[in-house]
A and B are shown apart, each in its own frame.
Chain A
C-alpha cells in the first residue's frame, strides 16, 4: 500500500516571498505519478503541478516548481513570489501508473500568505 505524509499542518509566508511545502511518500513500486493539488475555501480541488516518476527533471509551472528526490521518496513544492491568492490548503497526492489508479492523498497543509 502507498502512503503520503505531510508533516507540516500549517505554514505562513509574506507576500512576494518564497515558501516550500514538504511531502514524503512510501511505495515499493517504480512507476508512478505525484501531484500537488490546491484547495481554496471554495472546496474546488485544483491541480497545481504533476511529476512523472520516470522523469529526472523537476516539473515547473510558472511560479510553482517541485524538488523530486526519488531515492529519498520526497516531493516538495516551492512557490515563488507568493501571492494572496495562493492562500489555500495544499495536498500532495500519489498514484500508480496504468488503469484503475486511485489517488492517495496526504493530510494537507494550510498555507497563509500575509499581505
Chain B
C-alpha cells in the first residue's frame, strides 16, 4: 500500500483479555517501530525492529507486552492480561532504514485500545 496501515482502528476489550494489534509497513521499509500514545501526551517508544529481529525492546513496559515481525514485513503487537492502564493509541511507524530519507519515520493511523 501507499502508507503504513494498522488494524483494527479501534479495539475494546475487557480487563484480563489478550489482544493483538497489527501493523503493515510501507513496502520495502526495513525498520519498524511501535509507540504508545496516552491521552494528551506525545508518543512513547515501545520497540524497534530491523528486519525480523527486535533490535531494541527497551520501551516495552513489562512482560505482558510482546511483538513479532516473522517475515520482516507485517508486525503484531501482543498484549496479555490487559489492564485498564493499557488503554491508549498504539502507533506504528516504518522507515527505509538507509539512504537520504532513511531517518524519517512514517506513521500509521494508530489503533485506539480501550480496556474496560
Q: Is chain B's interface secondary structure helix, strand, loop, or mixed overall? A: strand
Please report the number of residue pairs spanning A and B whose Cβ atoms sit closer than 8 angstroms.
Answer: 60
B43 on the A face (CB < 8 A):
yes
Give the distance to chain A from B59, nearest Cβ to Cβ, in Å. Answer: 7
A99–B33 touching, CB < 8 Å? no
Known contacts A45-B107, A47-B104, A100-B48, A105 near B112 by CB under 8 Å = no
Complex CA distance for A100 and B54, rounded to whole angstroms:
10
Residue B97, interface by CB 8 Å:
yes
On whether the beta carbons of A42 and B109 are closer than 8 Å, the reply is: yes
Interface residues of A in 40-87 (CB under 8 A from B): 42-47, 50
> Which chain B positions have C-beta within 8 A of A43?
89, 91, 109-110, 112
CB distance from B28 to the nearest CB of A (A): 17
Q: Using a Cβ–Cβ cut-off of 8 Å, how many residues does chain A contribute to the interface with B? A: 25
Query: A103 contacts which of B35, B40, B50, B109 (Cβ < 8 Å)?
Result: B35
Q: How far is the CA of A91 from the CA of B42 in the complex (A)?
A: 7
In the complex the two chains form, what is the Cα distance from A107 to B108 in whole Å?
19
Give CA–CA (A70, B55) in the complex, Å.
Answer: 29
| A101 interface residue per 8 A CB criterion | yes
Q: Are A97 and B103 in contact (CB under 8 A)?
A: yes
User: A83-115, CB under 8 A of B: which get 1 and which 0?
Assistant: 000000001010101011111111110000000
Contact A99 B109 (CB under 8 A): no
User: Is there an interface contact between A108 and B41, defined as CB atoms closer than 8 Å?
Assistant: yes
Seen from chain B, the residues whose Cβ lies within 8 Å of a Cβ on chain A are 31, 33, 35, 40-45, 48, 50, 55-56, 59, 89, 91, 93, 97, 103-110, 112
The 10 closest A-B pairs by CB, nearest first: A105-B42, A45-B107, A102-B45, A43-B110, A44-B109, A100-B55, A33-B103, A105-B43, A91-B42, A108-B42
